[in-house]
Amino acid sequence: MLQTAFNGVVTGVIMALPALAVTLLFGVLKFPNFAVGAMMTVAAYLAFALNAQLGWPLAAATVAAAVAMGALCIGIDQLTFRPLRERGAITLMVASLGLGFILENVARFAYGNTARSFAIELARPFRFADVRMNHEQMITIAVSSAAMIAMWVLLTRLPMGRAMRAVADNPSLALVRGIESPRVIRWTWFLAGVLLALGGVLIGMDRALEPPMGSNYLISVFGAAILGGLGSPLGAFVGALVIGVVSELSTLVIAPNYRIGIPLLAIAVILVFRPQGLFGQPYIRR
């Protein structure tokens, strides 16, 4: 069971990155973006192209893919979401759904349906207190933790990070405090793109690369973000860990394929008892 819990922690830290992206995007753009799963997929395939096809080491490929994804996200926002900014959450959600379809199928078109893997060296896993941990998992925990810490510093110490939180808190007040919303939006997308790219690569390391790889996590990631409180970065992290561990542990009692029921249940429970999530603030829609 300890092994399962550990695997859950690994899943949780993997999900923490896209969960944070979801929460940042929701906070600044005010709608749930259903394309984040497919964005992870595309970024993972970008890294795959650099790593397995061009021979780059995975770390370099990941960094390149992250920057590329960040830029791509800004571009996507300009083309797709900016024209729809005034139209309301539902329109934006539908657009994001369509976008998700496009991105996932671009990956499918380019690489087909067969599963692929990154070109990384195999190393023997090691044991610690009866729990088997392999190198990929340790790297995953390290990378994700580093990314979360970096994000925390950014959001609390840097002016742009504060500006993002301000816009999430009160968009019109942010305007009259001199914060230009297009700039904040661009930065938010860039950071989201980077986080999603990291998440995608970690998923690719943990499982395999195939077109639905990102979308498979969509519900879990949203569950994590909602559990933690949409708009709360700390919540995204905690929520992801909880969902990850509970989902894995649940496989001990229910069929593994229904893991997705856990985040769904979490969403339902949270919505009934505490809609703002663990750490969120009730967002006053005006």
Partner 1 sequence: MISFLILIGIVICFSAILALALNFQWGLGGMVNFGLTGFYALGAYSSALLMLKAGANTFVAALGAMAIVAAVCGLVAFVTLRVTEEDYFAIVTLGVGEMLRLVALNEDWLTKGALGLTGVPRPFGAAIPPQYYQYFLLALAMTLLLATLWFLGRLARSPFGRLVRAVREDDVVAATLGKNVLWVRVRIFAIGGAIIGLAGSLHGFYYQYIDPTQFSNIVIAYAFMAVIAGGRGAHRGAILGAAIVMLLLEGSRFLKDVIPALDSDRLAAIRVIMIGAGLILLLIYRPQGFFREYRLRADFK
Partner 2 sequence: MSNILRVTALHAGYGAGDILKGVDLELAAGSILTIIGPNGSGKSTLAKTLAGLLPARAGTIELDGRSLNGLGAPKRVLAGISYVPQEYNVFRNLTVLENLKIAREFMGANGKAARGRDDGLEELFPELPKHYRIAAGNLSGGQRQMLAFACALAGRPKLLILDEPSAGLSPILTREVFERVERVNRSGVSILMIEQNAIEALRISQSCVVLNGGRVRACASAREVLGMKDLNSIYLGDASNRI
Catalog residues that contact partner 2 under the rule CB under 8 A.
Answer: 159, 162-163, 165-166, 168-170, 172-181, 231, 281, 284, 286
Place of tokens 């800004």: 74
CB 140 within 8 A of CB 14: yes
146 binds partner 1 (CB under 8 A): no
Binding at 93: pick from partner 2, partner 1, none (beta carbon under 5-8 Å per type):
partner 1
Extract the tokens encoding 56: 């780059």
**Which of 80, 170, 181, 251 contacts partner 1 by CB under 8 A?**
80
Residue among 212, 192, 206 at smallest CA distance from 11: 206
Q: Which two tokens stand for residue 214?
A: 């990102």
Q: The dihedral of CA 202, 144, 156, 34: what is its sign?
A: positive
What is the spatial distance between Cα 39 and Cα 42, in angstroms, rounded to a whole number? 5
Residue 105 binds partner 1, judged by CB under 8 A: yes
Residue 285 found at the interface with partner 1 (CB under 8 A): yes
Burial level of 153, CB count in 10 A (0-12/13-18/19+)?
exposed
Contact between 112 and partner 1 per CB under 8 A: yes
Q: What are phi and psi of 124, to 5 degrees?
A: -75, 135
Alpha carbons within 13 A on the beta-carbon side of 56? 15
Positions 233 through 262 that interact with partner 1 (CB under 8 A): 255, 257-258, 260-261
Closer Cβ to partner 1, 166 or 261, answer by number: 261
CA distances from 196 to 4, 90, 118 (A): 25, 23, 17
State the DSSP H helix or E strand holding residue 190, giving kind and residue range, or none if neither: helix 181-206
Binding mask 167-206 toward partner 1 (x if CB under 8 A, else -) reads: -----x----------------------------------
106 binds partner 1 (CB under 8 A): yes
Q: Closer to partner 1 at the Cβ: 6 or 279?
A: 279
Q: CA-CA distance, 107 to 113, in Å (whole number)?
A: 9
In whole angstroms, how close is the CB of 176 to partner 2 at the nearest point?
5
Contact between 87 and partner 1 (CB under 8 A)?
yes
Which of 4, 78, 91, 251 touches partner 1 by CB under 8 A?
91
Q: Which residues bind partner 1 (CB under 8 A)?
A: 31-32, 34, 80, 83-84, 87-91, 93-95, 97-102, 104-106, 108-109, 112-113, 172, 218-219, 222-223, 226, 255, 257-258, 260-261, 263-264, 267-268, 271-272, 275, 285-286
